[in-house]
Amino acid sequence: MPIKTWLTETLGIRVPIVQGGMQWVGVAELASAVSNAGGLGILTALTQPSPDALRKEIQRCKQMTSKPFGVNITLLPSMTLKPGDYALYAQAIIDEGVKVVETAGNNPGPVIKQLKEAGVTVIHKCTSIRHALSAQKLGVDCLSIDGFEAAGHVGEADVGTLILLAKAKKVLTIPFIASGGMADGRSVAAALALGAVGANMGTRFMCTAESPIHHDIKLQIVKGTENDTALMLRSFKNTARIYKNKIADQVTAIEKRGGAEFKDVAALVSGARGKTVYEAGDSEAGVWSSGQSMALIDDVPTCEAMLAKIEGEVEQIIGGLGSLVVPAASARL
Ligand code: NAD
């Protein structure tokens, strides 16, 4: 029996699961595979070197799926982008007729306005209730509530998904999906119980057959546990959760010394260097994002097999929970 939520109905997808925006990972091969499997695939805008390259990637994705897919734009400190670049990427998305965008990061107001004026459905990802309320005021359609377990930029407040979702249900008036720690049917069922209309998954999709990263990195994720991540860029208030490797140790050691400037770590943390991890399959070549959900990942399935499995698990878990509620007369005191 299909799971029906605001997300499936509004986006026209079968499974209430969105593939998170992931630098160097969110390309047409993966996004189309997720959409073809019934979820919402997401291209990462900034993985493309220019707005024109993004236009071509959107066109390529359209050739690979007839199902809806979205694009992620993340607005965070960058070594390569100028502030005006985001509007140009957003315009490329609008011009290519993409109907859903995942925004994330700092000062998203202008990009959200640009997308909403063009009739795009906006899912804004944020790591705090304060930012969720601001985005709601800016007119986004849905929030992606990103707990501390997540990969990538986790914010500075260190609040886990469990608390954030329950609080979101209390204070938000628009729908929200769960992000951070989502990797199997059990986590998705829990998110739905907490009031979410679906889940966002990043690390889980990195570790699928269609994910464009080197197989050895997928095996590293399979081996990884909840203790194999590190937090970098804390001292610059731009905290990111990454895989705990030697480069992560070097960066955190520099930050711990105190008084570090960004230029002291720039060469170590650069995305261009991180990209070589995925290309060469050398997990020590640079920094790369990974969430605590590695603990729950033990295979490299196709997106189709993975989403079908999660769908079945969610159904079974939600159905099973119903049997815990017994008529008052037969309940034991
Ligand atoms: P990059 O090489 O420009 O920067 C590498 C890291 O350093 C990023 O975490 C970035 O936020 C951080 N950084 C850059 N300048 C900084 C500064 N002055 N102070 C503090 N931190 C700084 O990044 P990239 O890997 O090429 O990615 C490009 C952009 O996409 C960045 O803004 C990055 O944060 C963002 N991003 C997006 C996703 C996604 O899933 N969409 C994932 C990771 C990063």
C-alpha of residue 114 to centroid of ligand 1, in Å: 22
Our answer on whether the CB atom of 46 is closer than 6 Å to any ligand 1 atom is: yes
Our answer on whether the CB atom of 232 is closer than 6 Å to any ligand 1 atom is: no
C-alpha of residue 15 to centroid of ligand 1, in Å: 30
Query: Model ipTM?
Result: 0.95
C-alpha of residue 316 to centroid of ligand 1, in Å: 39
Structure tokens at 21: 């925006």
The CATH code for residues 6-213+299-322 is 3.20.20.70
Our answer on whether the CB atom of 80 is closer than 6 Å to any ligand 1 atom is: yes
Q: Which residue has the tokens 């490329």?
A: 92
What is the per-residue pLDDT for 333?
Answer: 56
Our answer on whether the CB atom of 236 is closer than 6 Å to any ligand 1 atom is: yes
**Under a CB-based contact definition with an 8 Å cutoff, are residues 179 and 48 in contact?**
no
Our answer on whether the CB atom of 78 is closer than 6 Å to any ligand 1 atom is: yes
Our answer on whether the CB atom of 21 is closer than 6 Å to any ligand 1 atom is: yes
If phi over 0 gives left and psi between -120 and 50 gives alpha, with beta otherwise, what is residue 184? beta
Domain range list for the chain:
6-213+299-322, 229-280
Our answer on whether the CB atom of 23 is closer than 6 Å to any ligand 1 atom is: yes
Nearest residue CA, atom 43 of ligand 1?
23
C-alpha of residue 281 to centroid of ligand 1, in Å: 21
Our answer on whether the CB atom of 189 is closer than 6 Å to any ligand 1 atom is: no
Nearest residue CA, atom 9 of ligand 1?
240
C-alpha of residue 136 to centroid of ligand 1, in Å: 25
Q: Choose one of 43, 46, 93, 213 to mutate for the ligand 1 pocket test, by most ligand atoms within 8 angstroms of C-beta.
A: 46
**Under a CB-based contact definition with an 8 Å cutoff, are residues 180 and 144 in contact?**
no
pTM: 0.96
Amino acid of residue 328: A
Q: Digits of tens for pLDDT over the chain (333 positions)?
A: 789 999 999 999 999 999 999 999 999 999 999 999 999 999 999 999 999 999 999 999 999 999 999 999 999 999 999 889 999 999 999 999 999 999 999 999 999 999 999 999 999 999 999 999 999 999 999 999 999 999 999 999 999 999 999 999 999 999 999 999 999 999 999 999 999 999 999 999 999 999 999 999 999 999 999 999 999 999 999 999 999 999 999 999 999 998 999 999 999 999 999 999 999 999 999 999 999 999 999 999 999 999 999 999 999 999 999 889 888 776 665
What does the alpha-carbon distance between residue 279 and residue 170 come to, in Å, rounded to a whole number?
Answer: 43
Nearest residue CA, atom 34 of ligand 1?
76
Q: Which residue has the tokens 């705090």?
A: 128
Residues 6+ apart with CB under 8 A from 179: 20, 125, 144, 145, 146, 147, 150, 161, 199, 200, 202
Structure tokens at 311: 């769908």
**Under a CB-based contact definition with an 8 Å cutoff, are residues 178 and 196 in contact?**
yes
Q: Where are the beta strands (DSSP E) in 106-213?
A: 121-126, 142-146, 152-153, 176-179, 199-201
Nearest residue CA, atom 17 of ligand 1?
77
List the one residue out of 124, 127, 123, 171 whose CA is nearest residue 149. Answer: 127
Residues 6+ apart with CB under 8 A from 243: 220, 224, 228, 229, 230, 283, 287, 288, 289, 290
C-alpha of residue 331 to centroid of ligand 1, in Å: 54
Structure tokens at 257: 């010394």
**Under a CB-based contact definition with an 8 Å cutoff, are residues 146 and 127 in contact?**
yes
